[in-house]
Every structure is written in structure tokens, then in C-alpha cells.
Amino acid sequence: MPKVTLHVDGTIVEKEVKDNANLVVLAGTLQFPEIKYGCGMGRCTKCICQVIDGADGVTPPNWKEEKMLGDKLNEGYRLTCQMTVQKDIEISQDNIKIDPPKKKLSPTI
Ligand code: FES
């Protein structure tokens, strides 16, 4: 079972999770309540984390993460709600806030 080390609100939380666990699902079921999240659907970015160690221990970014995070993916930022855990990872949600990209206005006709 992979171990997740989470830095959040100035503390460190360590938990073992099942293979392919989604941490936001665990947060929603109060099995990992320390995880910060919002919509759970890749739209709000409130679940953003930075992977400190073990980036190969989570699934690769999907199209929602590419759309919402863009170049931030290269700096190790991920949407926690969009990844699943396969190996030990260390992530941080301390002092991280990235606003979702602004919606483009539709052209007026
Ligand atoms: S919880 Fe909203 S984007 Fe992940």
C-alpha cells in the first residue's frame, strides 16, 4: 500500500492508502480529511498540490489538469482530484493557490 506524506497547514500527515486511491475521494469519505478540495471535478483548482517526491507514483496529468494548470505542471503542480496514487508520494498543499484560468468571453454576434 502506498504511503502518502502530506504537508498541509504547517503540519505533516502520513497515511497509507490503497493502490490507485484518489485522495479527494478519501477526503470526501473522511478517510483523509486533511486534504483540501472543492468541486472534485477538475474545475476549481482548490485541491492543487505540489508533488515534492515520487512524481512517478501518481497517474500522469489528464486533459483537465493540462487545461487548468498549463505550465505549472512542469513545476510539479497537480490537481489532487484528478490523480490516483500507485507508489509512495510526498505532496504539499501548504501556501499554494492558483486561480483557475479565466473563461474566454464568447464573441458577440
Ligand atoms: S477539487 Fe476542484 S479541481 Fe480538484
Which atom from ligand 1 is nearest to the alpha carbon of 45?
A: 3
Name residue 6's amino acid.
Answer: L
Position 102 scores a pLDDT of 78
The span from the CA of 86 to the CA of 94, in Å, is: 22
* CATH number, domain 3-92: 3.10.20.30
Q: Decide whether any atom of ligand 1 lies within 6 Å of the 35 Cβ.
A: no
The three-state (H, E, C) secondary structure of 4-33, written as one string: EEEEECCEEEEEECCCCECHHHHHHCCCCC
Distance (Å, whole) CA 96 – CA 100: 13
Ligand 1 neighbour 23 (Cβ under 6 A) = no
Query: Relative to the CA of 37, which ligand 1 atom is closest?
Result: 1
Q: Probe ligand 1: pick from 23, 44, 67, 97, max atoms within 8 Å of CB?
A: 44
Q: From the alpha carbon of 100, which atom of ligand 1 is closest?
A: 3
pTM summary value: 0.90
Summarised one tens digit per residue, pLDDT across range 36-84 is: 999 999 999 999 999 999 999 999 999 999 999 999 999 999 999 999 9
Strand order in the sheet with 89-92: 11-16, 3-8, 89-92, 48-53, 77-79
Mean pLDDT of 10-33: 97
Q: From the CB of 46, is ligand 1 less than 6 Å away?
A: yes
